A and B are shown apart, each in its own frame.
Chain A
């Protein structure tokens, strides 16, 4: 694409060697990506914003008719929207805490061993490359199934006479989904932490050991503080990823039982694609976008302030 768009500009400028200015070369090189970016990101974002003021529908052409801010008012007064947002935030809390802390602990422990590291890495990272559909099949029909599932079987073996219905009981469903998500995605954070640990120079460990610090003191006072930047990155990425949860919930509980696990993204799919109310779903999309943006910004702001203070 670039070759046809900018052949003239891309031929060498013979007037000078090193400091040639690429008046057209720069834009020409960016053009192919920019085209995709405008068509599939900028355009849709503007569309979403505009569509929120119309009562558009999947069933007819065009935007529909102008309704002003009534979609916004409806969404804000929609108890189901707030309920799905609450589920989304709760899921984010339930997954982010173990996915950051457990990954940190496991990575610190794994960093002490060189032999057999591939096995540890494989065990934790393998689930991460599996499609959500496989994960859902394994847990919904295998591990967490009622009567036949492995988890209930193990609990019965331990003497629990009536183990919970992991995905069928509204009190347990969200916890189960969070547990599955921890199993599925911890490998990614684990690997990021391992990389962060590798950047800590060996002599820092040795100096602390010479000072008589035991392994636990070294982890607490040297290793964890030095992983601060990694922790920030891991936490932000995790929060944003958890707020966008859809796949595993859609496939394992379909948002149930009784809508008790339905996340906001599924509400967008349900109102926009199943009910076909595109204008309404656009406004819900904007609100979800706003929540993701706000939470990431607040997090960055807090971390920055903490860094300045220390």
Chain B
């Protein structure tokens, strides 16, 4: 895109050859300015296009049913209503799904942050036999997608009666190798003197971890927290397999069960989509910079 628009930019800038003392910078300046204008135009066009689906869903969700029946694809309404949202909260299980998603995401995040940071601390700061071997063994785990292991995981949880429970959703998601690497990378950068000073003062490894290392590791903690929380919150396949009880469903699985039911009004479908999107959108809007930096710094997915 930028390429095709750049051609005329160069010629236009070259045309008024000024007799000034410094023609070269002036010409560059013009091309730069035109390029920036085109770039901005392209960017804004894409950004607006990207917002269309979300805005459209929101617009539909507040239209009354009789208006939708007349013109389903219209954006506009003369009397907006929150009836669809009220219906969802009154008749649906939405409050359960919110609570379940929150509990499950929080439990997984806490367990992952604690176990992964402890392990990373051990691997980074403590010298012991087979340290490299253990590290490589964990490294290999990064290549195993959890999705190819769901059959044995399911059978194991069924065996111990954890289907349709929070722990059934939580436990298999705890061993997150990427989290260990993010922490280890961060801990490797902590000056050895800091650790050694604490140890010399008589602090045990756990105290060193908790009082010296973790307070310094705030950025790594927030990056892993955000990433794990979002991943667990949005996980669909695993809770879909483990949870069948509507009151135990997480938000994505619950929302999917909404569209499976026949005869749900259009406005309600869009209202459910909006309600599903709102929590993390709000979190993102609040912590945009930190979230973006966290992802950028770690390359997590």
Chain A residues in contact with chain B, CB under 8 A? 1-3, 9-12, 14, 17-18, 20-30, 32-34, 36-37, 39-45, 47-48, 51, 58, 105-106, 109-110, 112-113, 118-127, 129-143, 147-150, 152-153, 183, 188, 191-192, 194-195, 198, 209, 212, 214-216, 219, 233, 237, 240-241, 244, 246-247, 250-251, 265, 268-269, 272-273, 278, 281-282, 285-286, 288-289, 292-293, 296
Given known pairs A120-B47, A150-B73, A195-B297, the reply for A130 and B251 (CB within 8 Å) is no
- Of all chain B residues, which has the CB nearest A273? B241
Residues of chain A within 8 A (CB-CB) of B56 are 138, 142-143, 150
- Count of chain B residues with a beta carbon within 8 Å of a chain A beta carbon: 110
Residues of chain B within 8 A (CB-CB) of A139 are 53
Q: Are B277 and A131 in contact (CB-based, < 8 A)?
A: yes
B230 within 8 A of A: yes
Q: Are A131 and B255 in contact (CB-based, < 8 A)?
A: yes
Residues of chain A within 8 A (CB-CB) of B205 are 9-10, 22, 25, 29
Q: Are A29 and B43 in contact (CB-based, < 8 A)?
A: no
Given known pairs A119-B47, A183-B53, the reply for A130 and B276 (CB within 8 Å) is yes
Within the assembled complex, what's the spacing in Å between the Cα atoms of A282 and B156? Answer: 14
Residues of chain B within 8 A (CB-CB) of A25 are 122, 126, 128, 205
Kindly list the 8 A-B residue pairs having the minimum CB-CB distance in the complex, ordered from nearest.
A195-B296, A29-B122, A26-B128, A148-B72, A153-B73, A133-B255, A123-B47, A22-B126
Q: Are A18 and B149 in contact (CB-based, < 8 A)?
A: no
- Further 13 A-B residue pairs, CB within 8 A, beyond A33-B116, A134-B272: A1-B115, A21-B127, A40-B172, A44-B149, A44-B151, A122-B284, A124-B46, A129-B234, A131-B252, A131-B280, A183-B53, A215-B36, A219-B2
Whole-angstrom distance from the CB of B131 to the nearest CB of chain A? 6
The 8 A CB mask of B227-266 against A (1 = contact, 0 = none) is: 0001001101100010000000001111110110000001
B199 within 8 A of A: yes
Given known pairs A137-B273, A212-B24, A219-B2, the reply for A246 and B147 (CB within 8 Å) is yes
Q: Are B236 and A131 in contact (CB-based, < 8 A)?
A: yes
Residues of chain A within 8 A (CB-CB) of B175 are 33, 36-37, 40-41
B180 within 8 A of A: yes
B17 within 8 A of A: no
Residues of chain A within 8 A (CB-CB) of B233 are 131
- Of all chain A residues, which has the CB nearest B276? A134
Q: Are B153 and A132 in contact (CB-based, < 8 A)?
A: no
Whole-angstrom distance from the CB of A148 to the nearest CB of chain B? 4
Whole-angstrom distance from the CB of B73 to the nearest CB of chain A? 4
- Of all chain A residues, which has the CB nearest B234? A131
Whole-angstrom distance from the CB of B134 to the nearest CB of chain A? 6
Given known pairs A109-B2, A122-B288, A126-B54, the reply for A44 and B206 (CB within 8 Å) is no
* A285 partner, pick from B148, B241, B285, beta carbons under 8 A: B148
Given known pairs A17-B196, A123-B47, A137-B259, the reply for A36 and B270 (CB within 8 Å) is no
* A134 partner, pick from B2, B199, B277, beta carbons under 8 A: B277
Q: Are B141 and A37 in contact (CB-based, < 8 A)?
A: yes
Given known pairs A120-B43, A246-B237, the reply for A272 and B285 (CB within 8 Å) is no
Q: Are B148 and A288 in contact (CB-based, < 8 A)?
A: yes
Within the assembled complex, what's the spacing in Å between the Cα atoms of A148 and B265? Answer: 13
Residues of chain A within 8 A (CB-CB) of B174 are 36, 40
B154 within 8 A of A: yes
* B295 partner, pick from A37, A152, A192, A296, beta carbons under 8 A: A192
The 8 A CB mask of B38-61 against A (1 = contact, 0 = none) is: 011011101110111110110010
Within the assembled complex, what's the spacing in Å between the Cα atoms of A23 and B130? Answer: 10
Q: Are B199 and A26 in contact (CB-based, < 8 A)?
A: no
B299 within 8 A of A: yes
